[in-house]
A and B are shown apart, each in its own frame.
Chain A
Amino acid sequence: MKKAMTLALGILTAVGGFFDIGNIATCVQAGARFRYQLIWSMVLATIVVILLIEMSGRFACATKKALPDAIREHFGFGFWLVPFLILTVIHILVLGAEIGGICFALHLLTGYPLQVFALPVAVLLWVFLWRATFSAIENSTSVLGLITLCFVVAAIWLHPPTHEVLQGALPSMPATNPENYWFIAVSIIGAVIAPFLFYFYSSGAVEDNWDRSYIPVNRAVAVIGMGFGSVISIAAIIVAAVVLAPRGIRVDDYHQAALMLIQVFPYWGYELFAVSMAIACVGAAIEVALSMAYTFAQTFGWNWGEDLDPAEDARFSLVYTLALLGASLFMLVGVDPLKLTLLTMAISAAVLPFVAIPMLLLMNDRKLLRDAANGVFSNVATAAIVVLTIVLAVVSIPLMVVGGS
């Protein structure tokens, strides 16, 4: 029975972490500007994230070590320091974007300006992390995350032309402004394959004491959880394509996105969008803040774990505290949340090799993993992922400059 519970929670966590501000921003823009044509980049990103999540979970089950812990031990401090510093900057940016999403949702619900909510949101998230245990966090954010199903209901209700949707699942060249098309394609991939997902997921597996017997559960969680999150994201693309694209609304600002559910839910559509956005971002913000604390604690060998009291792991707790305060500054100084999100997703896509390459090497440590190591199929797939991440790394920044309107 415990495994079934774990499976359910694992799936919900995967959904909580998957569908966040990055997905909302990139999917709604993709739908509004290119209708169904960019669904393929979500499909590709989902396949890659399923493989990488499955591997990071399998590694944690087999060795009781999360990724940051393993990478430092395997490749040494010198190699790990550079990715560690870069990923810390990325995590602060992503946390800032998530907090921006929550603030914007509260702005929609109350009408008060964004800046007003920056610090209260950071404090609210901090109280949650300071007092709650890991399982309490995992359960609550995940159950609340179910509200994002409203995008799926809306997409089904609007019954889009299935022929065009399926066609969108295959890569195709855009008719107009290709730079923006490829920029959004890269941002979608950057939003889905977020580094914090793997650090949080593998640390969570260690927190939940998963062992080798959990490897099948891990595989199911990876496939169903990530797949489920992807369905919600594709639904968001479809709703934007049906509601916003025909009206010529391009979504340069979240206010434009807030209108997308009203056609399907005339009375509740506006509030539903705001609440879904808030909850998706709360779930993701908590996972990013925790992922940073895990990464710091495991890098320097501190005591760590959400089930410990802050007094028992002072340094772990202070990392997420400082991260939350630092990340809330973006909204405080009035940075535009949508632009911050898109910038972050593009940069996030640029650092993926730092996640994929260590993963390929770690999963081939036969002495440590023995039968849990990568087989030929996962090695070929991972090698292909490494190549993809290098290509993404090379094109993402130039594309942001040229196509990032």
Chain B
Amino acid sequence: MFEELDMVRDLLDKQLVDADGTKMGRIDGIVLALDGDKQPRIDHLELGFAVLARRLHPRAEQWLLALRRRWSVRKSARQIVPVSKVMDITEEHIQLDLNALETPAFDWERWLRDHIVSKIPGSRSEQ
């Protein structure tokens, strides 16, 4: 676990995995909490296309949110992960004390799997 870390190099855009190693997206955003003149600290991490769009251009985010209102699979545009959930930070990925399947990060994966993939033969090898 890093004591001292470079938030851009070691956190931002880094691969996230859950408690048992399932990949669950990347850190798309990091939110700092500023309280008057106290030392700023990392409040939570954010995942989601809306967060990515915001990084490109504010209008990109508006356009994406408008799209989401008409048709979306994910309940929330941004998934919030409290920084306390961070179990381990390595060069390869960042491990969270979560179960990916329950988080919004997997909404798309579940929706596509249940509505499209599992309807196609051979999508699950016969264990």
Q: Which residues of A contact B116 (CB under 8 A)?
A: 314, 318
Q: Which residues of B contact A157 (CB under 8 A)?
A: none
Give min CB distance, B97 to chain A, whole Å. 18
How far, in whole Å, are A22 and B9 apart by their CA atoms in the complex? 38
The answer to whether A309 and B26 touch across the interface, beta carbons within 8 angstroms, is: no
The answer to whether B13 and A311 touch across the interface, beta carbons within 8 angstroms, is: no
How far, in whole Å, are A228 and B8 apart by their CA atoms in the complex? 41
Give min CB distance, A372 to chain B, whole Å. 13
Contact count band on B: 20 to 34
- A63-85 toward B: CB 8 Å interface, digit per residue (1/0)? 11100010011001110010000
How far, in whole Å, are A254 and B97 apart by their CA atoms in the complex? 57
Q: Which of B13, B16, B28 has the most CB of A within 10 A?
A: B13
The answer to whether B12 and A130 touch across the interface, beta carbons within 8 angstroms, is: no
CB within 8 Å of A: which of B84-127?
91-92, 108-109, 112-113, 116-118, 120, 122-125
Give min CB distance, B125 to chain A, whole Å. 5
Query: Is the contact region of chain B dominated by helix, strand, or loop, or is it mixed?
Result: mixed
CB within 8 Å of A: which of B3-25?
8, 12-16, 22-25
Contact count band on A: 20 to 34
Query: Is the contact region of chain A dominated by helix, strand, or loop, or is it mixed?
Result: helix
The answer to whether B23 and A301 touch across the interface, beta carbons within 8 angstroms, is: yes
B83 CB within 8 Å of chain A: no
How far, in whole Å, are A300 and B24 apart by their CA atoms in the complex? 9
The answer to whether A311 and B92 touch across the interface, beta carbons within 8 angstroms, is: no
B80 CB within 8 Å of chain A: no
- Knowing A73-B15, A310-B120, say if A315 contacts B109 (CB, 8 Å): yes
How far, in whole Å, are A318 and B109 apart by their CA atoms in the complex? 10
The answer to whether B23 and A311 touch across the interface, beta carbons within 8 angstroms, is: no
Q: Which residues of A contact B122 (CB under 8 A)?
A: 127, 130-131, 310
A167 CB within 8 Å of chain B: no
**14 new A-B pairs (CB below 8 Å) besides A69-B15, A309-B124, A311-B113?**
A63-B92, A76-B8, A76-B12, A76-B13, A78-B55, A127-B122, A130-B120, A301-B15, A301-B16, A311-B118, A311-B124, A313-B109, A315-B112, A317-B123
Instruction: Enumerate chain A interface residues (CB-CB to B < 8 A).
Output: 63-65, 69, 72-73, 76-78, 81, 127, 130-131, 300-304, 309-311, 313-315, 317-318, 368
- Can you name 22 A-B residue pairings with CB atoms under 8 Å? A73-B14, A73-B15, A76-B8, A77-B13, A77-B55, A77-B56, A78-B55, A81-B56, A131-B122, A301-B23, A301-B26, A302-B109, A303-B22, A303-B109, A310-B123, A311-B113, A314-B109, A314-B112, A314-B113, A315-B109, A315-B112, A318-B117
